Amino acid sequence: MSDPSGEDKQQPQPISANARRVLGVLVEKAKTTPDNYPMTASALISGCNQKSNRAPQMKLDETDVLNALDELRGVGAAREIQGNGRVTKFRHAAYDWLELDNPQAAIITELLLRGPQTLGELRTRASRMHSIDDLDATKQVIDSLIAKGLVEALSPPGRGQTFAHTLYPPEERQHLQARVEKQAAQAPQENRNAVDALIARLDAVTDRIDDLEARLKRLES
């Protein structure tokens, strides 16, 4: 990454799956439930393990979340503050760490919480945090994140193209790419099967029509 001063900016380093989930929850809750933000460790555990808007499902405990917070603080992505009644709370620093604006933060958060997604999925899901007008506007946000080195396309352009953030450690990134390539290899066969099934249905309907026409002719004669 580079800035107008000509100095290269260091690419944000990859973070663990637990840290990505915690960071995603912090940004999400700051947007969707601001009255309950900053968040306690207990609230973060619930947010990380909730059933909706999460993929994969996780079962983090207090140790997992606190270790993830230590990791995030170490890279400058989260901060600890003192809440009311001396309860320790946490807030994200994603806007500074990744240099994001509101629409970019919404897209990155969805990728952190749900993994790779298509343009349409991202537009629909990110709109709960920041309204995005249409697919063209979503593509502009994606392109800006790609230019920052924070998002990449996992599949070729076209319908169903999938995007992911770039905060995966190398071994996870390799596994992710292999999974996407496997799905792409299976798609043609699945499409052929669907076409064959449709042709069979059409043939059956045509046979029924021919049979009905023949019966009508017999009745008319």
Q: What residue segments make up the domains of the chain, in order of their start?
A: 1-166, 169-221
The pTM of the full predicted model, rounded to 2 decimals, is 0.79
Residue 1: CB atoms within 10 Å: 13
Share of the chain above pLDDT 70, in %: 81
pLDDT in tens, 60-91: 999 999 999 999 999 999 999 986 667 899 99
- Per-residue pLDDT, 202: 64
Share of the chain above pLDDT 90, in %: 67
Instruction: Tell me how far apart the alpha carbons of residues 221 and 217 are, in angstroms, rounded to a whole number.
Output: 6
Residue 80: phi, psi to the nearest 5?
A: -100, 135
pLDDT in tens, 89-129: 999 999 999 999 999 999 999 999 999 999 999 999 999 99
Least confident stretch, 1-15, 35-49, 167-181:
1-15
Largest CA distance in the chain: 95
Residue pair 110/22 in contact (Cβ under 8 Å)? The answer is no
Instruction: Tell me how far apart the alpha carbons of residues 75 and 71 are, in angstroms, rounded to a whole number.
Output: 7
Length of the chain: 221
What is the pLDDT averaged over residues 14-26? 98
- Please say whether the structural domain 1-166 has been given the CATH code 1.10.10.10: yes
Q: Write 205-212 long-range contacts (CB < 8 A, 24+).
A: none
Residue pair 82/90 in contact (Cβ under 8 Å)? The answer is no
Residue 81: which H helix or E strand, with range?
A: strand 78-82
Question: Would the pLDDT of 149 be above 50?
Answer: yes
- Per-residue pLDDT, 206: 63
- Per-residue pLDDT, 180: 76
Better-predicted residue by pLDDT, 173 or 141: 141
